[in-house]
Every structure is written in structure tokens, then in C-alpha cells.
């Protein structure tokens, strides 16, 4: 059944999506370009677009999440390139800044990372996807991860399986103004071939979740003929029954999903942005949050002497 298109939330989001599209494509260019269409202040132009995206995404964030920019780090010393958008769980994320006011986010409490681009060639799109894949891989090896939040009610270290459970990986997305290559004439396999062409090869769990081109459409994944899904794979619960319909076997199987591109039918359409908004929200509330133990990030470097004293229970 198609939901009632006249509900209040739909009316509100229709206006917000149209404002978002207008601001991202037209308003930012009107402010930062001259009569010839050349950018006057490229860096400010980029920052302006990042703020437009952040303000829009705040509409779909649960209260425990916040949006920032900076670097994603791990306890074993790995640091990402600078990220335009970092969505994190603010209830457990420490405020770590350097002398230049750059912020650093422990990978454990990062939920999503996004890149904001202008016009992308096919080569530039592939480069951006590989950058996101590298950031996503930072969750692969963590020291004794402990769950703060899990939609699947996980508790122990043994439950953490980022290579197979889509909820144990962060969400990565890219938003751009348009592609400079003809998307109708470019097979999707040409875009996603970057994951196998680069070294190291990127497994399915490192692949993007969503690519939104304001002018061209949305690249994500297909769960079935009608449903799109924000993750490149999904754990399917298979149940085999015996002749008396008793459960004989129950197992989880990781199903890799097909890519799907959603193209608007005209320049005024916002349907691809609607889809992006709804499945990004699903992705954000599905991602597991892990505890960023600062003891792992600032370990002891020198030996110390320790002295104990028995606590006196007599008052």
C-alpha cells in the first residue's frame, strides 16, 4: 500500500528537500561565482555546500547523533584524510582537537562519513569511492570492541563481525551536483569496477552505501524488485523445516545485493533525494556504536610505582 502522500511529515520534507536542492545547486553558485560562471572563492564555496548538507541532514538525525567535520582515527595510529561530513554518537564521543582546531573522531563511535563534491568525472567519482572505502575499512580491526548500541542486541566481542554484518560497518555516502559523464550510457559496472581495479582490492563490506547526484540520480542497492536498501549486503535468516514442519536448521547467510540506480524523470523531480533521505535515516539508526576506550588511545608509555591502601569501612 502506498502511504498517504498528504501526511504532515511528507509535506514538511517535500519543502525541505526542494529547499535543499535549490540551495545546493543554485544558491551556492549564485553567491560564489562571477558573471562568467567562474568560482571566486572555491574553498568558501565548498564550505558553504558542506553547511547546506549538514543543515539538511540534521532533519533526520536521532537525538543521540551529531554532525561534524575532521578526521577519523584508530587506536593503532591510523588517520583518515579530512572528511567533509562525520556523523557520530555524541553521547560517547570525546571532544579531541589539535592546536589548529582540527577535530579527531575515534572510529568506534563514528556512524557515517560523507563526501561533498561539485561536478565529477568518472575517474573522479571512482577516486572518491575508493577514499570512502579506505575510511570504512578502519573498523575492520579494533581492540576488544564493546557495544554501546546494537540494533541486533549484540553484547560480546565475539559478536562483532564487520566483514559480514552490515550493521557493524559505518555508512559512507557521497553527494555531488552532477556527473560530467553520461550516466545513461555508462554501465554501473564501469563505476563500481574501481573496487576491483585498485590495490588492495576492496571487499563488498567496504563499498559505498549511497551516491547522490542532484542532477542525475541515486546509486545504492536493491533488496528486491520494489525495495532499495542502504547496505551492499544483508544478513538473511534461513530456516529449514522437516516433514512435520519442525525447525530442522536455522542459519544466517550473507546475501550480496545488486546495485541499483534511481534516475529522476525530469530536472524538477526530487524523488531520488526522497529515496536518499529515507534510506540514509535507516542506515544511521542501524549502525552499531562501539565504546571508544581512551585507554586504548592514550596507553601507558613508562613504568610507574603504585601504592595501595585498604579502604576503612569504620566511620
pLDDT tens digits, one per residue of 86-122: 999 999 999 999 888 899 999 999 999 999 999 999 9
Residue 306 lies in a domain: no
Contact 170, 139 (CB under 8 A): yes
Q: Phi/psi of residue 114, each to 5°?
A: -130, 150
Q: What is the pLDDT of residue 291?
A: 95
Residue 236 lies in a domain: no
Contact 253, 231 (CB under 8 A): no
**45 Cβ partners below 8 Å, 6+ apart?**
28, 29, 32, 39, 118
Contact 110, 86 (CB under 8 A): yes
Least confident window among 27-41, 52-66, 124-138: 27-41
Q: What is the pLDDT of residue 234?
A: 95
pLDDT > 70? residue 29: no
Q: What is the pLDDT of residue 250?
A: 74
Residue 232 lies in a domain: no
Domain with 272 in it: 8-225+260-297
Q: Regarding predicted confidence, which is higher, 28 or 189?
A: 189
Contact 207, 132 (CB under 8 A): no
- Terminal CA-to-CA distance of the chain, rounded, Å? 69
Q: At CA 235, angle to CA 232 and CA 239, rounded to 5? A: 150
Q: Would you place residue 309 in the very low, low, confident or very high pLDDT band (cuts 50, 70, 90)? A: confident
pLDDT > 70? residue 36: no
pLDDT tens sequence across 126-185: 999 999 999 999 999 887 899 999 999 998 888 999 999 999 999 999 999 999 999 988
Q: Which residue do the cell numbers 536448521 mark? A: 249
Task: Give the whole-number percent of the chain exceeding pLDDT 90.
Answer: 71
Residue 271 lies in a domain: yes
Contact 105, 169 (CB under 8 A): no
pLDDT > 90? residue 215: yes
Q: What is the pLDDT of residue 245?
A: 73
Residue 245 lies in a domain: no
pLDDT tens sequence across 197-207: 888 889 999 99
Q: What is the pLDDT of residue 33?
A: 66
Q: Which of 99, 29, 95, 84 is CA-nearest to residue 54?
A: 84
Q: Which of 229, 247, 230 is CA-nearest to residue 238?
A: 247
Length reported for the chain: 315
Q: What is the pLDDT of residue 34?
A: 60
Q: What is the pLDDT of residue 134?
A: 96
Residue 240 lies in a domain: no
Contact 160, 168 (CB under 8 A): yes
pLDDT > 90? residue 30: no
Residue 1 lies in a domain: no
Least confident window among 185-194, 204-213, 271-280: 185-194
Residue 283 lies in a domain: yes
CA pair distance 157, 160, nearest whole angstrom: 6
Cβ burial 77-114 (10 Å sphere, 16+ → b, else e)? eeebeebbbbbbbeebbeebeeeeeebbbbbbbbbbbb
Q: What is the domain count for the chain?
A: 1
* Side-chain half-sphere exposure of 103, counting CA atoms within 13 A: 16
Q: What is the pLDDT of residue 275?
A: 97
Q: Would you place residue 41 in the very low, low, confident or very high pLDDT band (cuts 50, 70, 90)? A: low
pLDDT > 80? residue 299: yes
Q: What is the mean pLDDT of the chain?
A: 90
Contact 202, 133 (CB under 8 A): yes
Amino acid at each position: 500500500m502506498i502511504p498517504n502522500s498528504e501526511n504532515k511529515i511528507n509535506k514538511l520534507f517535500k519543502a525541505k528537500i526542494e529547499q535543499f536542492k535549490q540551495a545546493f545547486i543554485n544558491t551556492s553558485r549564485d553567491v560564489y561565482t562571477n558573471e562568467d560562471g567562474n568560482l571566486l572563492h572555491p574553498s568558501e564555496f565548498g564550505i558553504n555546500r558542506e553547511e547546506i548538507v549538514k543543515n539538511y541532514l540534521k532533519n533526520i538525525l536521532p537525538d543521540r547523533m551529531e554532525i561534524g567535520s575532521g578526521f577519523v582515527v584508530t587506536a593503532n595510529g591510523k588517520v583518515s584524510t579530512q572528511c567533509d561530513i562525520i556523523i557520530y554518537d555524541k553521547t560517547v564521543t570525546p571532544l579531541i582537537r589539535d592546536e589548529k582546531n582540527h577535530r579527531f573522531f575515534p572510529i568506534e563511535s563514528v556512524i557515517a562519513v560523507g563526501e561533498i563534491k561539485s561536478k565529477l568525472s568518472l575517474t573522479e567519482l571512482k577516486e572518491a569511492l575508493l577514499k570512502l572505502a579506505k575510511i570504512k575499512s578502519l573498523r575492520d580491526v579494533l581492540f576488544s570492541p564493546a557495544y554501546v548500541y546494537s540494533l541486533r542486541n549484540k553484547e560480546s566481542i565475539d559478536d562483532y563481525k564487520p566483514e559480514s554484518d552490515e550493521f557493524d560497518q559505518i555508512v559512507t555516502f557521497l553527494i555531488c551536483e552532477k556527473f560530467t559523464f553520461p550516466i545513461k550510457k555508462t554501465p554501473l559496472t564501469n563505476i563500481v569496477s574501481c573496487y576491483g581495479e585498485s590495490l588492495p582490492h576492496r571487499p563488498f563490506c567496504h563499498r559505498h552505501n549511497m551516491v547522490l547526484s542532484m542532477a542525475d540520480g541515486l546509486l545504492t542497492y536493491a533488496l528486491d524488485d520494489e525495495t532499495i536498501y542502504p547496505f551492499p549486503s544483508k544478513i538473511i535468516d534461513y530456516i529449514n523445516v522437516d516433514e512435520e514442519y519442525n525447525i530442522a536448521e536455522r542459519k544466517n547467510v550473507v546475501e550480496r545485493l545488486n546495485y541499483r540506480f534511481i534516475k529522476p524523470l525530469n530536472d524538477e523531480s526530487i524523488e531520488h533525494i526522497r529515496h536518499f533521505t529515507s534510506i540514509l535515516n535507516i542506515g544511521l539508526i542501524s549502525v552499531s556504536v562501539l565504546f571508544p576506550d581512551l585507554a586504548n588511545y592514550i596507553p601507558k608509555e613508562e613504568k610507574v610505582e603504585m601504592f595501595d591502601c585498604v579502604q576503612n569501612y569504620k566511620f
